[in-house]
Structure 1
Amino acid sequence: MDLRVFTEPQQGATYDTLLRVARTAEELNYSAFFRSDHYLHMGAVDGLPGPTDAWTTLAGLARETERIRLGTLMTAGTFRLPGVLAIQVAQVDQMSGGRVELGLGSGWYEEEHTAYGIPFPKEKFGRLEEQLEILTGLWNTPVGERFDFDGTYYQLKDSPALAKPRQSPLPILIGGHGAKRTPALAARFAHEFNIPFASIEDSERQFGRVRAAAEEAGRAPSELVYSNALVACVGRTDKEVARRAAVIGREVDELKANGLAGSPAEVVEKLGRYAAVGSQRVYLQMLDLDDLDHLELIAAEVMPHVA
């Protein structure tokens, strides 16, 4: 089981805080640092000092880290035109020496669009499909050739299809709970399928759908990585678990039911049950970004037992 760090900076974090978390994660041998792509906080927090842009953040981290992989869960397809996103991601991949992964979703949080004047179209899934066609088309077009695309939502003509990412192919993550269209899209475009905040039973069901969609598309299901994103709240004692749960405004029993909470041994056991249904990678949602001891505890007492 591969463990990665997943942050939610819209809830309140500076770039310096994110850099500190990313560097700590790198030192502790987590395989990746990922962040959400949101411009507005959620729930009973003020979000101060305000949002940070996902790809601006990753560009900075690309130059200030050395080994850890970097990416988004998930970039909102509504935020950026696909041609612009292709250039941004390619540039950050070059800046990192080839350590970037793109998680791309359709976008869903209407309030943040309203707050910052971003259009929120009714039909988002069809746009996402065209965005994936454009991104992969631009990156796969040989240097010196041109790329054209005439879709319902986007049109590109005579594009030089530059810049190119350092990686070829650059890993793309697609995720979600949709029963038909999401697995089909993952089968066509994804290197990894991620299901966020899902039970073991729901994960098994969705992984099965993606495997079936891959086979139907003529692709070996084993070509994809299957992963989960789950909130983490780990402590050596019940008191420590309760303290960490209180800081993030959650109840211990709820976290144990819906996330990875409890002692290191409890978390190792639950990760084993996710692995048994096909999960190969878990993104640990770390909601208290000042608690670096939490990262250290998981690295010391969970990671060695699931690696």
Structure 2
Amino acid sequence: MDLRIFTEPQQGASYDDQLAMAQRAEQLGFDAFFRSDHFLRMGDGDPLPGPTDAWTTLAGIARETSSIRLGTLVTSATFRHPGILAVQVAQVDAMSGGRVELGLGAGWFGQEHAAYGVPFPDKRFGILEEQLELITGMWGTPVGETYTFAGEHYRLTDSPALPKPVQQPLPIIVGGGGPRRTPRLAARFATEYNQSFPEKDVVVPQIGRVRAACEEAGRNPDELVYSVAFIACVGKDDAEIARRAAAIGREVDELREHGLTGTPAEVVDGLGALAEQGISRVYLQCMDMSDLEHLDLIAAEVLPDAQAL
């Protein structure tokens, strides 16, 4: 099982905070460092230092790391024109030497759109679908040929469809819990299907829907990586677990029910249960970006067992 570190910088983190966590995660042997793509803090608390742009941040981190994979969980389709996003992601892929992955979603946080003047249409799924088709179409167009796209939301005419990513294909992550449209999008475009913070009893049924959508589309369901994201709160004992939960303003019992929380042995057991459900990749959401010792503990006492699952 792959373990990836996943952060929420809009809750209060500078570029330097993110770089420090990414570099520590790389040194410790985690598979990837991912971040959310948001522009407004959620909930109460100090809003400083303010948001950081996901792809600008990942470009910087790409030049200051060498092996860890980098990506978004997930970029909102409302934030960028897909033609420009295709250029941005391909460029960061080149800057990283081929270590980037694109998680793309429809967007959901209306308040941040209002705060930064970004349009927030009521219906966004069609926008997401066209963006996935357009981005993959640009990247898949042979060098020297042009790409034209005519959709309801976007039109491209004779695009040179450059630059190309280093990776062919560049991994794309589609996520969500929708019962019909999301599985079909994953089957059509994704290399990975992700469920972020699901109720644990819905993981298997949703994987079943995605696998069925793959079969309907004539695709081998085993080609997809099936992943989940859960908040992580790991401590050597109850006191350390409680301290880490308090630092992020959460209750231990709630985190145990909905996240991966407890001693290293408890978290390994939780990962084992996910592996039995068909999950091969887990994003550990680490909310306190100043607590790099949290990563040290997970790497020392959880990561080796997870890699053996």
Q: What TM-score bracket applies, with the shorter chain setting the length? A: over 0.9
SS at match of 2:128: helix
Structure 2 partner of 1:85: 85
Stretches of 4+ aligned residues off by more than 4 angstroms: none
Contact 1:59–1:95 (8 Å) recurs in 2: yes
Write the mapping of 1:155-304 to structure 2, written as runs, cut at 5 A.
155-304=155-304
SS at match of 1:102: strand
The offset of 1:43, in angstroms, is 1.1
Structure 1 partner of 2:39: 39
The offset of 1:201, in angstroms, is 1.6
Q: Distance in 1 between matches of 2:298 and 2:199?
A: 21
The offset of 1:123, in angstroms, is 1.6
SS at match of 2:289: coil
Deviation string, structure 1 residues 122-154 (Cα, Å, up to 9, x no partner): 220001000001000000000000100000000
Q: Structure 1: state its 5+ residue gaps.
A: none
Return the TM-score normalized by structure 1.
0.99
Q: Distance in 2 between matches of 1:8 and 1:119?
A: 22
Return the TM-score normalized by structure 2.
0.99
Percent identity of the aligned residues? 66
SS at match of 2:285: strand
> Does residue 1:154 correspond to 2:154, yes or no?
yes
SS at match of 1:200: coil
The offset of 1:199, in angstroms, is 2.8
Write the mapping of 1:38-117 to structure 2, written as runs, cut at 5 A.
38-117=38-117
Which amino acid is the alignment partner of residue 189 of structure 1?
Answer: F
Contact 1:71–1:100 (8 Å) recurs in 2: yes
Q: Distance in 2 between matches of 1:222 and 1:201?
A: 21
Q: Structure 2: state its 5+ residue gaps.
A: none
Structure 2 partner of 1:28: 28
Contact 1:54–1:72 (8 Å) recurs in 2: yes
Which amino acid is the alignment partner of residue 37 of structure 2?
Answer: D
Deviation string, structure 1 residues 288-307 (Cα, Å, up to 9, x no partner): 00000000000000111111
SS at match of 2:57: helix
Question: RMSD of the TM alignment (CA)?
Answer: 0.6
> Does residue 1:128 correspond to 2:128, yes or no?
yes
Q: Which moved more, 1:80-89 or 1:202-211?
A: 202-211
